[in-house]
Amino acid sequence: MDLKQSKLSNKEIIAAYKVIKETRKLDERLWQLNRIGKSTFNISGQGAEVGQVAMAMAFNSQEDYFLPYYRDMAAVMSFGTTAKDILMGSLGKKDDPASHGRQMPNHYGDKANNVISFSSTVTTQYPLATGIALALQVDKKPGAVLTVTGEGSTAQGDFHEALNFAGVKKLPVVFVIENNGYAISTPNDQEFGTDDLSSRAIGYGIQGRKVDGRDFAETYLAFKEAAEFAKAGGGSTLIVMDVDRLTAHSSDDDQRVYRDKAEIEEMKENDCILMMEEQLLDENILTIEELQEITTSIDQEIEQATLDAEAMPDPEASEIMTHIYETGGH
């Protein structure tokens, strides 16, 4: 679809593009920090940024809540988390809003922007999302809940239990499966026996949809509809968003071991960001010079954010026994 078919203004589309591009540049910086030994881990959403931002734009961080998974950097930034915040997380800094230096990198959370803390135990965020949504429902609050997991997680019991409950209570949740084709090295055909994961929605009495996360407008419109449906009391929607995983699973993995060279090359040629940039030019939303300017300015921002984050204090070792209980330590 054309970008303009999203019915978003040029200004909004450009703002979305900036978050997408910034996320890519930031992720590249996180890989550098990892490779020079300043952080010990990185897990990327490269190849999913366009879909993630289109998804997140259908929500707002004042009334809606977001329970992401570890590849959702672009979506989290769309909710308001900054590059410096994320860098502080990767460097284990005290002011990292996700965990104050306590969790691994990319385990997002940001109370100021209604992003709920994520653990590494995949799919546990789905039942948590039902609790957030039930609170909104019971408290008669206007928001909806967005929660995301990878397609590998659809094998987990929590996936079933949460969708089942959401169906019973008609909860205002948009459940998302980001399908990038692999659970670490395990391909889709070894993960589940269906060609269409969205068909699972039928069994729970909720809506199911499939979107191409490389298509900005299609993705945005699907999420906008699902968010409006949730807020109108219609209940939950399960959206399968197809995306690419341009990088290895994480900084501790090498996908060349289990993916064909041709497959990886093809994916990189069809990089969702390159495709969106072509659209921006074709639809006369940005000129090539403006694209260049945006990239240059993002490069500078990431550089500055890195310096700023590095200069921030580490947590105090004495904090080890704080925030265990209401009263502090043991």
Partner 1 sequence: MAEKTYLEAINLAIKEEMRRDDGVMVFGEDVGGEKGGVFGVTKELAAEFGDERVFNSPLGESEIAGLATGLGIMGHHAIAEFQFADYILPAVNQILSETAKMRYRTAGDYTAPIVMRAPYGGGVRGGFYHSQSTEKIFAGQPGLRIVTPSSVYDAKGLLKAAIRSEDPVLFYEHKKLYRAIKDDIPDEDYTVALDKAKIVKEGTDITVFSYGMMLQFVLKASEKLENQGISVEVVDLVSLYPLDQETIVQAARKTGKVLLVTEDTKEGSIMNNVSSVIAENALFDLDAPIKILAGPESPSMPYAKNLEDAFLVNQDDVLDAMVELAEF
Q: Which residues bind partner 1 (CB under 8 A)?
A: 97-100, 102-103, 109, 111, 116-117, 119, 121, 124, 126-136, 138-139, 157-158, 160-162, 164-165, 168, 319, 322-326, 330
Q: Which has the closest alpha carbon to 255: 269, 270, 244, 242? A: 244
Beta carbon of residue 3, minimum distance to partner 1 (angstroms, whole number): 35
- Judging by beta carbons within 10 Å of its beta carbon (0-12, 13-18, 19+), is residue 18 exposed, middle or buried? middle
Cα–Cα distance for residue pair 157/177, rounded to 1 Å: 15
Instruction: Select 94 or 259, whichever has its Cβ closest to partner 1.
Output: 94
- Write out the two tokens for 303: 């550089």
Structure tokens at 128: 């948590």
Least Cβ distance, residue 127 to partner 1 (angstroms): 2
Whether residue 93 contacts residue 36, with contact meaning beta carbons closer than 8 Å, is answered with no
> Closer CB to partner 1, residue 80 or residue 181?
80
Of 86, 77, 26, 22, nearest in space to 52 by CA: 77
Residue closer to partner 1 by CB (options 116, 243) is 116
Least Å from the CB of residue 45 to partner 1: 21
Query: What is the C-alpha separation between 105 and 90, in angstroms, rounded?
Result: 4
Minimum CB separation of residue 111 from partner 1 in Å reads 4
* Nearer residue to partner 1 within complex by CB, 138 or 317: 138
In the chain, beta strands by DSSP E: 65-67, 145-150, 173-179, 182-183, 186-187, 207-212, 237-242
- The least CB distance from residue 100 to partner 1, in Å, is 4
By beta-carbon proximity to partner 1, the closer residue of 5 and 164 is: 164
Q: Which is nearer to partner 1, 167 or 234 (CB)?
A: 167
Q: How far is the CB of 240 from partner 1 (least distance, A)?
A: 21
148: nearest Cα among 188, 185, 108: 108
